[in-house]
Chain A
Amino acid sequence: MSILAVLEQRSGQWNRMSFETLAAAQQLGTQLGTTASAAVLGYGVEALAGELASKQLEKIYAVEHELLKDYTPDAYCVALAPLIDRIQPKVLLFPHTYQVRDFLPKLATAHRRVAVSDAIAHRVENGQVILVRQLFQGKVNADVRLVGDGPHFASLQAGAYRADRTVEGTAAVEVFRPAISPAQIRTVPRELFRESQRAVDLGAAGIIVSVGRGIKEADNIALVQQLADALGGELAASRPICDAGWLPMERQVGSSGQTVAPKLYLAVGISGAIQHLVGMKGSRTVVAINKDAGAPIFEVADYGIVGDLFQVVPELIEAVKKAK
């Protein structure tokens, strides 16, 4: 009846969201009066699992198999099934990474459960777990109750829990060796690659002016470029702008693009879907200009103007020039 945090590594490096999941599992365990354990899958991950020995956990499972060296959804689900059978966790928590998005629904379905994906918070009421998740690209929240027996499955949004809140203690590593046969793996993953060297390092920019769907047409981007120039900043964009080919992919901020944390991030016509927010919410000062006062970008903005960007931005360019 414990909590199991299933952590993520690639080539022996932790995904930093793993520790957020670990912290959440410890908190939930305490609230439910039970313990938390952790599992990490791979080939030769015992030493990596050992890095968690100073955490307060019941057990750390190093799930070991040669066929777990390169991630496949089939091998991961085959490997986790007997572990779940053995320890019968009430709730399994995962970081909401691209990899988890790829295999968690499959794993949950095999247990005839629906995973609560991309949760941002939890609470315990009368011994029952309620998770909060976002609908409509962050415009609406939903409280979701886990009912009936475990195992239940949930993935946690990047940044929803603090990695530095893990509780120290001691934990023993157990190597768990599931049986996996090559015939069970139907897909063949190839080497990871990047499209091209990035000519623009948005991560180094002090000021970023970022443009989204609200700009309507490619020709209008020049207006936002002028604002970036006036501020001495770099131009960036949300995903739809790069998808449309209006700006190169290397200028995309968000989960599939770059993660940035400039001193000033000015979002123009960006509604603030979570995939964008995770890429910029570490910025020191966030400014949003958007016609929709309910846009999620205002959730993370320090300053905002609700209005038509085509009227506001030209005035802003003038005001910036005057101030310099």
Chain B
Amino acid sequence: MKIVVAIKQVPARDSQLRISSSGKSIDEADLSYEINEPDAYALEAGLQLKEKHGGEVVALCAGPARAATTIKEALAKGADRAIHIEEDMAAFDPLAAAQLLAAAVKGEGADLILTGLQSDDLGYGQTGVILAELLGVPHATIVMQVEKSESGIRVKRELEDGWFQHVDMPLPALLTIQSGISKLRYATLMGIKKAKSKPMQRVTAASLGVAAAAPSVVVERIYLPERTKHTQLFDGSPKEAAAKLVEKLKFEARVI
């Protein structure tokens, strides 16, 4: 089974975010980056499928030069090779980003394309499905389990309120993977060593022949949300804060 896993590098989860002076992006100074968590699960799912059925796992990532660290991690965890679309993605909306990924993946002849169900930064939750549409392959989203079947694959989709559904589909197909699908592996020392000799192909939007079309949605500005609710915060030592909170819960909110 030939599997392409599309991964994204995003600011680390606990980052303190500041708005840049342009008012349209995040100030990148002092930020550290990591793999988008759902994409880490997509990679894990891909590696497990390869271990079970053989084949190849190709990590695909669009992002600036710094994304190379995330790609190397994917190689260290077991991806066989990688494609880095080296672009500053700020100008690419989800459709344009998916067009880049589609151009890079087209010649691969992949059986399965996996990606996380959404990114923890922009959170559109669309790139995977758009990519499927551009490639003309069927898709399933919010996938918890993937099994090979006679005619293709059977996936378990998560629905709301604790419901699930199996969906049968032919290959090639694209799946967006939910976090928690299985336990994530760590890169081993051996893996990190091996990763250094694994092929990493660098391409650009220009070399792929993709030019972003005029966007139909434009981000005007980004900003920290205004508090709509008045939250009473208790400071002081932990002991003092706890005592004040309990007093409020007992005599003001009357819930304990």
List the interface of chain A (C-beta within 8 A of B): 73-74, 97-99, 101-106, 108-110, 112-118, 130, 133-148, 152, 186-195, 198, 207, 231, 239-240, 242-244, 249-250, 255-259, 263-264, 284-285, 287-288, 292, 294, 296, 298-308, 311-312, 314-316, 318-320, 322-324
Contacts and interface: CB of A to CB of B under 8 A. Distances in A.
A152 B164 CA distance: 30
Given A136-B17, A188-B167, A302 B253 contact: yes
Interface of B: 11, 14, 16-17, 19, 26, 93-95, 98, 117, 120-126, 129-130, 132-134, 138-142, 158-170, 178-180, 213-225, 227-229, 231-235, 238-239, 241-243, 245-250, 253, 255-256
A311 B238 contact: yes
Contact of B142 (A98, A306, A314): A98
Contacts of B241: 305, 307, 312, 315
Contacts of A288: 231
Contacts of B170: 186
A140 B167 contact: no
B211 to A, nearest CB: 14
B158 A106 contact: no
B97 to A, nearest CB: 10
A315 B242 contact: yes
A319 to B, nearest CB: 4
Contacts, number: 264
Scoring A73, A148, A240 by chain B CB atoms within 10 A of each residue's CB, the highest score goes to: A73
Given A144-B219, A239-B180, A98 B158 contact: yes
Contacts of B243: 315, 319
A106 B14 contact: no
A99 B241 CA distance: 43
Scoring B93, B122, B132, B247 by chain A CB atoms within 10 A of each residue's CB, the highest score goes to: B122
Contact of A194 (B19, B140, B162): B162
> Binding site of A, secondary structure by majority: helix, strand, loop or mixed?
mixed
A137 B19 CA distance: 15
B139 A304 contact: no
A250 B125 CA distance: 25
Given A98-B142, A106-B139, A320 B231 contact: no
A278 to B, nearest CB: 10
B30 to A, nearest CB: 15
Contacts of A103: 129
B216 A146 contact: yes
B223 A114 contact: no
Given A114-B93, A189-B165, A264-B256, A145 B220 contact: yes
